[in-house]
Amino acid sequence: MTMQADLEMVKALLDGSRKVVVLTGAGVSAESGVPTFRGREGLWKTYRPEDLARPDAFEAHPELVWEFYNWRRKLVAECEPNPAHVALAELERALPNFLLITQNVDGLHARAGSRKLMEMHGSLWQVKCTVCTHAREDFGELEDLPECPVCGHLLRPGVVWFGEPLIPGVLKLAIAQVSDADVFLSIGTSSLVQPAASFYQLAKDHGAVTVEINLDPTPNTGFMDFALHGKAGEILPELVTGLKDRAT
Ligand code: NAD
Ligand code: ZN
């Protein structure tokens, strides 16, 4: 089948859906200029992000990890949501029952207007104390080793690092939502990071139609009902154009 025919079928699916759950990954923000982790441009200095975004790296070299996060915060602050983010916010507004689960920590979905949004890996714009309960949203410039205003200990980025458990309750909630979907879309994710990489299987087991949108095939492509290959910022606007507004 041609890509255009697949696109029309996915559009019809969305029009007739009861509940749509979308999972997004770094690919959705690539067209905004935010580097993905697996691409070559993901490297920072000579480090691989996977070697820095981990609790043991922070323990051993907090200043290096903070330097990396301050660089990412600055980079993302200069980026804008792209047509993929905008289209997903439009999709939310057109559908009666919708949830967007993102692995991204850049905050671009919220900036594009998404509200039914679960940032399952936290946010670059959250900081929290490594010792006490202090946590806050912070869009400002941070020191190299920022201190907690309450107890004076080191702050850390409010993101979920590789090897860390998800924020309590988030996984349970995500599983319940994915299981209830009748259409599940996986967009711009390499499908290598668990547990999100298995959400499509969960959705499928509960009867959902599954759709992947990615520049390239992923390990999950063969198991999807539909796979649309191309840029999320080009495919998503086409998908939402002319969609019936059923939000009321
Ligand atoms: P990933 O870097 O492993 O994979 C990105 C995927 O996006 C690849 O499969 C690639 O083919 C695809 N892609 C690239 N450009 C695309 C485009 N224009 N349109 C559609 N697809 C495109 O990302 P991941 O699967 O999200 O896993 C990485 C982990 O790192 C996540 O857990 C996330 O928390 C974190 N991360 C977040 C950001 C961010 O917030 N923007 C950026 C990098 C990594
Ligand atoms: Zn503290």
Give yes or no: residues 223 and 148 share one domain. Answer: no
Query: 30 in ligand 1 pocket by Cβ < 6 Å?
Result: yes
Determine whether 229 is an active site residue.
no
97 in the same domain as 28: yes
DSSP summary character for residue 173: H
Range of the domain at 45: 40-78+141-159
- The per-residue pLDDT string of the chain (248 residues; one tens digit each, 9 = 90 and over) reads 578 899 999 999 999 999 999 999 999 999 999 999 877 677 788 889 989 999 999 999 999 999 999 999 999 999 999 999 999 999 999 999 999 999 999 999 999 999 999 999 999 999 999 999 999 999 999 999 999 999 999 999 999 999 999 988 999 999 999 999 999 999 999 988 888 999 999 999 999 999 999 999 999 999 999 999 999 999 999 999 989 888 76
- Are the C-beta atoms of 203 and 190 separated by less than 8 Å? no
Establish whether residue 214 lines the binding site of ligand 1, counting it when its CB lies within 6 angstroms of any ligand atom: yes
Q: Ligand 2 centre from 152 Cα, in Å? A: 6
Domain assignment present for 199: yes
Does 63 lie in the same domain as 17? no
| Residue 145 CB less than 6 A away from ligand 1 | no
Coil, strand or helix at 129: strand
The CATH number assigned to the domain holding 62 equals 3.30.1600.10
User: How would you list the strands of the sheet with 20-24, edge to edge?
Assistant: 117-119, 98-102, 20-24, 183-187, 209-214, 226-229
β-strand partners of 154: 147
CA of 145 to the centre of ligand 2 (A): 13
**pTM for the whole structure:** 0.95
Catalytic: which of 61, 85, 121, 229?
121
Ligand 1 centre to CA of 27 (Å) is 4
Give the count of domains, the chain: 2
**Shared domain check, 72 and 58:** yes
User: What is residue 194's DSSP assignment?
Assistant: T
State whether 190 and 236 are in the same domain. yes
